[in-house]
Amino acid sequence: MCGIVGFIGKEEAAPILLDGLSRLEYRGYDSAGLAVYGEDNGVRVVKTKGRLQALFDLTQGGATLHGAVGLGHTRWATHGEPSDVNSHPHVSERGRFVVVHNGIIENYAELREFLQRKGVRFASQTDSEVVAQLLEYHYREDFLEAVRKTLGQLRGAYALGILCADAPDKLVAVRKDSPLVLGHGDDFQMLASDVTAVIKYTREVTYLDNGELAIITAQGFQVYDSYFQPVEKERHHVDWEISAAEKGGYEHFMAKEIMEQPEAFRKTVFPRIRDGRVVLDDLCFDRDYLGKLDKIYIIACGSSYHVGMVAKYNFERLLRKPVEVALASEFRYSEPIVTKSTLALVISQSGETIDTLTAMREAKRLGARVLSIVNVVGSSIARESDDVLYTWAGPEIAVATTKAYSTQMALTYLIALYFADLMQTISREEYSEVVSELLLVPTKLEQILAQRDSVQYFASLYFNQPSIFFIGRNIDYAIGLEGSLKLKEISYIHSEAYAAGELKHGTISLIEPGTLVVALASYGPLFEKMMSNIVEVKSRGADVVGLTVESRVEGIHRIADHVMEVPDTHPMLLPSLDVVPLQLFAYYIALQRGCDIDKPRNLAKSVTVE
């Protein structure tokens, strides 16, 4: 979703803003713009529909805009089509206020009407422009008073960057439900939607909390709470390298991130296993609390939800407690049954997905204890959870998640083992077996990745399919959901994932000669049943690409047209291995089809609107 960058210092702002925006491209956008204040020219704004390259060309890489303070924005359209005029920054009618916004101003229609009645003329169809116009309306030669009065009238979610031409020695940043981070240099300050935009210039950052406002000058900053009282903020040092957010020789971030999975898994899991035991230092659950749990609610969206779908099987088998997996966007409005004895496990790579964040708040309000799995340190979900476990996947730039999914999955295994151990619902033998197998997963992932050419070959056979089905049972079904989503997201091929046994209750009518079915058959206990389901689709003319473990390859080879294989492992860890050929399959198909793999159409990395 929209990306914000701001800079105030001594250097020319425009090239820095463009560089920052290029690092936020992954969030998904359809237009981009810059506003720079220079002593000679006042505020100059350049904005355009389309890719950042267009803005780069229009400003000759920023060289045509002079001044050491400015704001940049990439827009993901919500209110008003993608167009030059709807792009940000928005400027008030008299040209005094410049605003960039991420989020939605929910009461924009009534504010717009109010301002129009006062004679204000709007240039765009956006909700965001009302902020700039409202600031101008309230301005009586006091920038901050105008901000204060404006904020008092806004409803909705917003991260704002504001520049006032009458006070160009400062920027104002405001955060409500949409993320913002400040970056601190010796003689400059920055603001951005996330740290990737500032990391090239500084590693010293401050995360704004909900409701906070910051006044930023070249020399420093002051943060205020929602009552405009000064607050002291903790500074953070970002310890990952800028190279982590660059392609490093790969054609796409997605390819790089797929290949990084063995290392990401190691980083997430190995430090948490000591002497054969899972050690989650950050958690302090006890047997009594776990014993009294009435339910575990897993709340997430998209791929994170698919992690939850797998976790349900593992948790229920190991803990013998009911587990409900809820789509965050549905949870909040479904009158969920949550009590003080409910544990909400919230899963989110970005930690900023608004559906997940608001569902989490609802679960908390109803009394649940919240444990979250998050990749982005300091994100809203991490900060508002009772307990948080971080995935150490590093920055994930491709819109389609791969390494974040894998590390989230890894943490669900650790949580399942940790709880089962406390509750004494797992045998010593199985506990030790799973822990030993966990330590082998990265090497097995490397083996799978080394054979990626064969997956590329299958992709070359099927990249023109109009529709692809994924079928599986139990955990294989849950992995199929992710394989299907990956394919849809980046290749734009229609796809459905089905519980294999459910196919004959309707969907099998869609199978005709030549239809491609990817059949997941790695889960041992249901292997025979899966073979019958494969025969059912084969008899209707389907082409079948099977996916199974080494020890069962022969069984499936007799029926399927092609087979992808992964090493054997403990059944509960199968998702970590099985998902990789499916990620590669989607990637190579999208590559053959010439799709924009890292930035698929209409999608955003971090979905910060409901």
Beta pairing, strands 543-549 & 171-176: unpaired
Nearest to 23 by CA among 185, 253, 198, 188: 198
Stretch that binds ligand AGP, among 105-113, 262-270, 297-305, 317-325 (CB under 6 A): 297-305
Phi-psi domain of 415 (left: phi exceeds 0; alpha: psi -120 through 50; beta: other): alpha
Q: Are 519 and 543 in contact (CB under 8 A)?
A: no
DSSP letter for 59, please. Answer: T
Nearer to ligand AGP by Cβ, of 89 and 480: the residue is 480
Structure tokens at 580: 């990789």
Residue 597 contacts ligand AGP per CB under 6 A: no
Closest approach of Cβ 547 to ligand AGP, in Å?
Answer: 19
C-alpha span between 483 and 470 (Å, rounded): 7
Cross-strand partners of 348: 374
Compose the 355-374 pattern: x for residues touching ligand AGP by CB under 6 A, - for all others.
-x------------------
Sign of the alpha-carbon torsion through 541, 590, 411, 608: negative
Nearer to ligand AGP by Cβ, of 46 and 328: the residue is 328
C-alpha span between 453 and 459 (Å, rounded): 10
- C-alpha triplet 212, 188, 140: angle, nearest 5°: 55
Residue 268 contacts ligand AGP per CB under 6 A: no
Closest approach of Cβ 594 to ligand AGP, in Å?
Answer: 20
Compose the 304-333 pattern: x for residues touching ligand AGP by CB under 6 A, - for all others.
x-----------------------------
Compose the 479-518 pattern: x for residues touching ligand AGP by CB under 6 A, - for all others.
----------x-----------------------------
Nearer to ligand AGP by Cβ, of 47 and 306: the residue is 306
Peptide bond into 89 cis (omega under 30): yes
Residue 395 contacts ligand AGP per CB under 6 A: no
Sign of the alpha-carbon torsion through 406, 411, 412, 417: positive
Cross-strand partners of 164: 97
C-alpha distance from residue 211 to each of 162, 180, 362 (Å): 15, 11, 18
Using CB under 6 A, pick the residue from 401, 406, 533, 583 that binds ligand AGP.
401
- Contacts for 28 with CB less than 8 Å, ≥ 6 apart: 1, 76, 399, 599, 602, 603, 604, 605
C-alpha span between 478 and 480 (Å, rounded): 5
Q: Which of 2, 164, 301, 595 is catalytic?
A: 2
Closest approach of Cβ 282 to ligand AGP, in Å?
Answer: 19
Residue 354 contacts ligand AGP per CB under 6 A: no
Closest approach of Cβ 14 to ligand AGP, in Å?
Answer: 30
Q: Which of 49, 170, 403, 605 is catalytic?
A: 605
Stretch that binds ligand AGP, among 18-26, 31-39, 397-405, 515-523 (CB under 6 A): 397-405
Closest approach of Cβ 303 to ligand AGP, in Å?
Answer: 3
The amino acid present at 52, given as its one-letter code, is L
Instruction: Please confirm, yes or no, whether 2 is among the known catalytic residues.
Output: yes
Nearer to ligand AGP by Cβ, of 127 and 257: the residue is 257
Residue 608 contacts ligand AGP per CB under 6 A: no
3 state SS for 128-185: CHHHHHHHHHHCCCCHHHHHHHHHHHCCEEEEEEEEECCCCCCEEEEEEECCCEEEEC
Closest approach of Cβ 302 to ligand AGP, in Å?
Answer: 2
Q: Using CB atoms within 10 Å of the CB of residue 525, give its burial: 0 to 12 exposed, 13 to 18 middle, 19+ buried.
A: exposed
C-alpha span between 310 and 477 (Å, rounded): 9
Using CB under 6 A, pick the residue from 31, 353, 465, 533 that binds ligand AGP.
353
Stretch that binds ligand AGP, among 68-76, 361-369, 398-406, 448-456 (CB under 6 A): 398-406
Nearer to ligand AGP by Cβ, of 565 and 578: the residue is 578
Residue 196 contacts ligand AGP per CB under 6 A: no
Using CB under 6 A, pick the residue from 348, 491, 522, 569 that binds ligand AGP.
348
Stretch that binds ligand AGP, among 237-245, 273-281, 295-303, 473-481 (CB under 6 A): 295-303
Using CB under 6 A, pick the residue from 350, 358, 412, 495 that binds ligand AGP.
350
Instruction: Please confirm, yes or no, whether 605 is among the known catalytic residues.
Output: yes
Residue 548 contacts ligand AGP per CB under 6 A: no
Residue 406 contacts ligand AGP per CB under 6 A: no
Nearest to 214 by CA among 228, 200, 196, 202: 228
Interface residues with ligand AGP (CB under 6 A) are: 301-304, 348-350, 353, 356, 399-401, 489, 606-607
Active-site residues, by number, are 2, 605
